[in-house]
Amino acid sequence: MRSRFLTLSFAVMFVAAACGGSGSSGAPSTEGTGGESGAPPAESENTFDPASISGDVTLGQWESSPAEGTALKGAIDAFAAAYPNIKVKQTTIPGDYRAAMVTKFGASDVPDLFYVNAEYAPEWMSNQFLLPLDDYIQRQGFDTSKFFPDYASIFQQDGVTYGLPKDGNTIAMAVNTDLVPNPPTTMDELVQVAQGLKGNSKIKAPMCLNPSLDRGLAFLYAQGGSLLSDDGSTGTIDSTESKAAVQWYMDLFKNGLGETNTQLGDGWCGEALGKGDVAIAFEGGWLKGAMDAFPDIKWKFVEMPTGSSGSKVTINYTAAYSIGTDSKNKDQAWVLMQYLTGPEGMAKWTSGGIAVPSRSDVPVPAGFEVIVAGAAYAKPGSGFMPGYPDVLKAFGDEFLKQITDKTYDAGPVVTATKSKIDEVLSAQ
């Protein structure tokens, strides 16, 4: 009997633990079943003067490195000097930021201002976690025209703005300048250069390549392929051009021109470049800080090679500041937000050498010229459609199978991705 009871309680405890997240959701709200998001408050006729606001504001953020913390502190200190009536309380959320924040939304206990990564922005917007900002933008006359358009668009849904990009990154080509003194400017040249490096005993493979759309999307666009139709209503990954582009990318693996970071035995492609396992990798601005750990390797960023599409293209990754629907000090949060995403605050934040500006009117920090140049023509690398993580996974799972089994057929990859896109779009 005792062991049966023990057994039952084990089972019960586990499921309780597994369902803890859902159990924490509050009572049914009176806010209705959605759809009315974005209605501006009644007092929208008044103008908004940030200097007139006083009080406390809590800021929730992740922190990837101590240097990032220092850079943010610099920006917050500058804010405190400019707006002495508002006191900022920082709360760094350790570990799984997304999961921690989702439980806070469920408990209606959210920081006043917080980071939102592009990756999950569509879900957070459609679940009404985030406050529409159009009213504040309009009343204050805040100039949003200097944000690179494809950073800003990620945090808009049905014409409503829910976040302003705090910074942004684009994917560029990073080359070992000893091994690649003349970096390729076209995809054809890239293949030639890589072929010339094949068999070079100094490296394990010419390129470190990502076996999914995290980087593959940039190559797909460059080679004239696409994921979605221009209006975003249908999947086009199964078109002839897209399929050819996926096959072209996969052939880089097939022909031994590139390997994945795990095949190379590295944690990520930046490490592969730093350890000298490859001569070429495709990364964003975060690579710069990471390469400080490998002072012996001479390298530089160059813009993504141009493919058969004929025009320059790459993909971007960004994150925004947003205010929660349930945030308590919304006005104070907006004041902090318009400063940090405005030209002055963003210049402070990006002068820390960690982040890259998401606005075109902020000075480019040294070493990030190529990354910012890409922002003018980069397409969103995530957050541009609801359910994109599932599409990415469908593509990546099948792509990795093809590489692992050495079958190198784009067909199943395209089919799996297309059916996931259809599924995600029909669920909207």
- Interface residue list for other proteins (CB under 8 A): 3-4, 6-16, 18-23, 25-29, 31-34, 96, 98-99, 102, 105-106, 108, 120, 123-124, 127-129, 260, 262-265, 325-326, 387, 389-390, 393, 396-398, 400-401, 404
Cβ atoms within 10 Å of 173's Cβ, excluding its own: 23
- Shortest Å, Cβ 388 to other proteins: 11
Closer to other proteins by Cβ: residue 364 or 385 = 385
- Alpha carbon distance 402, 324 (integer Å): 42
Closer to other proteins by Cβ: residue 139 or 330 = 330
- Shortest Å, Cβ 369 to other proteins: 32
Closer to other proteins by Cβ: residue 28 or 295 = 28
265: left (phi over 0), alpha (psi -120 to 50) or beta: left
Closer to other proteins by Cβ: residue 54 or 262 = 262
Q: How many CA atoms lie within 13 A of 237 on its CB side?
A: 26
- Shortest Å, Cβ 17 to other proteins: 9
Closest CA to 243 of 410, 67, 428: 410
> What DSSP character marks residue 51?
G
CA distances from 41 to 45, 159, 339, 379, 426 (A): 9, 17, 22, 33, 32
- Shortest Å, Cβ 150 to other proteins: 23
Closer to other proteins by Cβ: residue 105 or 339 = 105
CA distances from 319 to 62, 94, 249 (A): 11, 17, 28
Q: What one-letter code names the amino acid at 269?
A: C
Write the burial class of residue 34 (CB in 10 Å: 0-12 exposed, 13-18 middle, 19+ buried): exposed
- Shortest Å, Cβ 240 to other proteins: 26
> What DSSP character marks residue 24?
T
Closer to other proteins by Cβ: residue 29 or 64 = 29
- Shortest Å, Cβ 272 to other proteins: 12
Tokens 């025009």 correspond to 311
Closer to other proteins by Cβ: residue 96 or 178 = 96
280 phi and psi, to 5 degrees? -135, 135
Cβ-contact 82, 339 below 8 angstroms:
yes
- Shortest Å, Cβ 90 to other proteins: 24
Closer to other proteins by Cβ: residue 379 or 393 = 393
- Shortest Å, Cβ 245 to other proteins: 21
- Alpha carbon distance 322, 345 (integer Å): 16
